[in-house]
Amino acid sequence: MKSRREFLKEAATGVVLLGSSAAADKLALAGVLEQHAAAGKSKVVIARDASLHGAGTQPNEQHVLNLLDKAMSAYTGREKPMEAWKSVIPADILAGGVIGLKVNGLGGRGISTHAALTMAVAERLQQAGVRAGNILVWDRNERDLAACGMTISTDPSRVRCYGNDAGGFDDEPVSWGTANIRLAKILTRECAMVINLPILKDHGGAGITFSMKNMYGVVDKPFTLHANNCNPGVADLNCLPAVRGKVWFTIGDAISSVYDGGPGFHPERLWYPNALVVGEDRVALDYTAWQMIEHKRAEVGMPTLEGVGRAPKYIATAADFAHQLGTCDPKRIKLVEV
């Protein structure tokens, strides 16, 4: 299978044959994606809504949906939500492919991808033409999904939801650099593409966890990738073709976050950025997420992650010549805040 980078390269050089409607759709998509990467920069959108939580600790569902629309509009330049989604998801996948929504429930109920966001994405996908049963919300296991407020369902007429504990892993391991693991069948066999829905957190090992680190939930033995502050484990894992090629759009949950003590739930270190962070360049997204965490730590008088020996060095590794997963050069990131 071609990686998206390879596809874009081929589209630009005319290698892709235009004989099929799918190929034409993909070429159109490539044009859109090039627009998103305006002037050679990777676009990252941070959309905020200070009123997201209202009086309670759970975000208001309608406000989350509105914030998602705002983020998608800012990212794609399309005002109408359906047009925005159709400009991001390839037509052939909209028509019949399974779209995975990879959430993150590792930290438990207090600090997991919010159900309001997951269901808002599922709602907009259905309105854009995706059949409910072709949407699959997934994470490591049933407990993690419950932490995300999700209920297990395999009913093909509804949005499906189950974990790797039910889906299983490929029999054969795959390798890239230090990564030598078995991937979840949900990723390799079920999904045509995956929308990454991580939650922004400090991480005791990696420094921060957001877009790329969320892929630890698609492998059988994530602990084998923890050495040396997850560097180069995170970058190597994201270079595996199935991860690189299928997981290329992130809607990051920064509705709430922990700026220290993560990845578990530490309510004394909880804060509410009330934001979504959207983009395609996973490295630029993680760089942006890192800056958000550092900003908060500085605000409360905490040392930098570098200062406590936890700088997320895997981000630079992911951008290096060997990995080329994106950019962490702020001059090459077009940050849009709405």
Partner 1 sequence: MKAFGPGRWKKAVVALAIAAAIMNAGCKKKDVDPFPASGAVAGWEKTGDTRVFAAKDLWQYIDGGAEQYLQAGVVSTATSDYKYQDQLETVVDVYTMGDAAGARKILESGQTNDAKRVQVGDAGIAYEQSVTFRKGPYLVRIVAYEATPGAQQALIALAHGVEAKL
Q: Of residues 235-274, which lie at the interface with partner 1 (CB under 8 A)?
A: 261-268
Quick one: which of 76, 87, 134, 209 contacts partner 1 (CB under 8 A)?
209
Query: Per CB under 8 A, which of residues 211..240 are in contact with partner 1?
Result: 216, 222-223, 226
Q: Is 205 in the site for partner 1 (CB under 8 A)?
A: yes
Enter the tokens of residue 9.
């390269």
Pairing of strands 207-209, 270-271: unpaired
Distance of closest approach, residue 213 Cβ to partner 1, in angstroms: 8
Minimum distance from residue 138 beta carbon to partner 1 (Å):
16
Q: What is the pattern of x (binds partner 1, CB under 8 A) and - over residues 153-192?
A: ----------------------------------------
CB of 196 to partner 1, least distance (A): 17
Give the nearer residue to partner 1 in terms of CB position, either 203 or 246: 203
For the chain, strand residue ranges (E) read: 42-48, 99-102, 135-138, 160-161, 174-176, 179-181, 193-196, 199-203, 207-209, 247-258, 270-271, 275-279, 333-337
Size of interface with partner 1, in residues (CB under 8 A)? 22
Secondary structure (3-state) at 300: coil
Q: Is 106 a residue that touches partner 1 (CB under 8 A)?
A: yes
Q: How far apart are CA 252 and CA 106, in angstroms?
A: 15
Q: If DSSP codes are grouped into helix, strand and coil, which group holds residue 138?
A: strand
Count the neighbouring beta carbons within 10 Å of the beta carbon of residue 330. Answer: 12
- Comparison of 265 and 287: residue with beta carbon closer to partner 1: 265
Q: With 0-12 CB in 10 A as exposed, 13-18 as middle and 19+ as buried, what is 64?
A: buried
Q: Are 93 and 192 in contact (CB under 8 A)?
A: yes
Q: What are phi and psi of 184, to 5 degrees?
A: -65, 135
- CB closer to partner 1 out of 9 and 226: 226
- The verdict on 59 binding partner 1 (CB under 8 A) reads no
Region of 40-48, 77-85, 197-205, 279-287 interacting with partner 1 (CB under 8 A): 197-205
Return residues touching partner 1 (CB under 8 A). Answer: 57, 106, 108-110, 203-206, 209, 216, 222-223, 226, 261-268
